[in-house]
Structure 1
C-alpha cells in the first residue's frame, strides 16, 4: 500500500513540475510577443478632425472638431495638429469652410479660410493670380454643366486680317465661381450668365480684349486630362477648303461665245476681273 502511495505521489509531483514548466514556457512566449509588439508600435501625433458633416460656407467652431491620434508618417499636408493654430486666441472670429468635410475627416488649411474671412472668391486666389468674369450663355457655357473647380479651354471668334477666325487663346483655365456660386461640391447644372476665372494679369488683359472684340466659346477639359491644347486657329476659308479648291482649279480661262446662224463660236479672251 505504501509502495502504491509513493508511486502516486511521485507521479503527482512529476505532473505538477511539468505543468509549471509548460506555464513558464507560455509566459516566456507571452513576454516575447509583448516586447515584439512594443517594437512595432507606430508613432502617432495629434490631428484635429470634424465630428460631423460640415458644408461649404459654415463656420468651424471648437465643438465641431476633436483631437485624435494619427500615424505620424501619414499626417495629411496642411492638417492642424495644435488647437491654438486652428482657433487662435487673438482671433475674434471663426474660420469658414471652403469645401464640404465629412465626419472624422481631418481639417486642412486648404479647406478652411483664415479666421474672420468668408468663403468668397478672394480667399481662393493663388499668389499672383487675378479673378476675371466672362460672359457666357447656354451654348458657350457648355449647356450649364460647368461648376467651380472645372477647367476650360477658351476659344475666340472674330475678324482678323479681314477674315473670320476662331482661335484658342487660353488652355486649361481654372473656374473659381459660376455667377455668385463658388461651392465646388454643387453637382446640379446651372445655366450661368457669367463665370469667374483665375488667371495671371497678362492673361486677364488678353481675355478682356478678346471679350470686347469678338465672342468667346468654352470647351470643358476632363477631370483626369493633364494635357494642354496647343495653338489652334481656323479661318472660314480653311474650314470650307476654299484655298485648296482655288489651288486645284489651275489657271483661269475666260471665253466669249458668238452665234453665227446655227453655229456657236467660242473665242478665248483675256480675263478682266
Structure 2
C-alpha cells in the first residue's frame, strides 16, 4: 500500500513539474514574441560614397584632396552629377596642371557637383561656362541699360533695341532669356556686390551674336532682368512714339485724277475722265 501511495505521489509531482515547465516555456515564448514585436525593425539602407566640400570653397580655387572628404549618402538621395571616386574628382596628381577649379562658392558639407567645378585642367574663366555651340558676346551697358547694377553672372535678361526705323524711332524686343556669364571681368555667380557695370557678357549662338552686333551698331540695347524661374517667351513687341502717346497715324492719300488730252486748233486741252482702275 505504501509503495502504491509513493508511486502515485511521484507521478503527481512529475505531472505537476511537467505542467509548470510547459507553462514557463509558453510564457517565455510569449515574452519573446512581444519583445520582437515592440523592437523597431532596422531597415537595411544601401549607401554610396559622395565627395563633399571639407571647408568653404571660394570661386576660382583649385580643388585638391585636402578640400574634399568622402561621405556615405543613401543611394536614393545621391545628388545627380556628384563624384563618388576621388581620382575622377581631383585627377591622378601626376600633372600639376590637372585640376578642377571651383565655379561657385560651396559651404562645408555641400556635395561637389560637376556643374560647380570646371573640367580637369580648365580654369574658371568665361570659356569654362560656355556650353557646346555657344559663344560669348559683350554688351555695353550703363546704369540705366544695365538694370542699375543688380545683374549677376547666371541671371537671364531680355534684350530691347531702340533705334531709327524708316523715319521714326522704334523700341523692339529682339531677344528672350539670354544668360549672363560675366559682369565686367567678374564671372563668379556667387558674388553679391552691387556695382554699375560697363559691360555684360552673354552666352549665345552665332546667329544671335550676329543680331546683337547689328543691333548694337545701329541703335541702343537695354536689358530687362528676368525672374529666377521665369522661362516664358514674350511675343514680338514693337513700340513707336505714336504708340506710346496713343496717337493714330493719319495717312494722306492723294485723289487720283485721270485726264485725256485733245487738240483744238493750236491749243491742247486736258479733259478729266473717270479713272479706269
Band of TM-score, shorter chain: 0.7 to 0.9
Q: Which residue is 1:77 aligned to?
A: 80
1:153-164 matched pairs, under 5 angstroms: 153-164=158-169
The answer for unaligned runs of 5 or more in structure 1 is: 1-6, 252-273
Aligned length in residues = 238
Q: TM-score, normalised to structure 1's length?
A: 0.78
| Greater fraction helix | 1
State the shift of 1:162 in Å: 2.0
Question: Deviation digits for residues 52-72 of structure 1, max 9, x if unmatched?
Answer: 111111121101111121111
Greater than 4 Å deviation, 4+ residue runs: 16-36
TM-score of the superposition, structure 2-length normalised? 0.77
- SS of alignment partner, residue 191 of structure 2: coil
Q: Using the TM superposition, give the Cα deviation of residue 19 of structure 1 relative to its aligned residue in structure 2, in angstroms.
A: 6.5
| Pairs within 5 Å for 1:29-178 | 36-37=41-42, 40-89=43-92, 90-92=94-96, 93-178=98-183
Question: In the alignment, what sits opposite 2:271?
Answer: none
CA shift for structure 1 position 77: 1.1
- Greater gyration radius: 2
Measured after TM superposition, the shift of residue 115 of structure 1 is 2.3
Distance 1:20 1:130, change over 3 A: same
Question: Residues 161 and 103 from structure 1, CA distance in 2 versus in 1: closer, same or farther, beyond 3 angstroms?
Answer: same
SS in 2 for 1:78: coil
Shift of 1:239: 1.9
SS at match of 1:175: strand
The answer for unaligned runs of 5 or more in structure 2 is 1-12, 255-277
Query: 8 Å contact 1:49–1:68 — kept in the other structure?
Result: yes
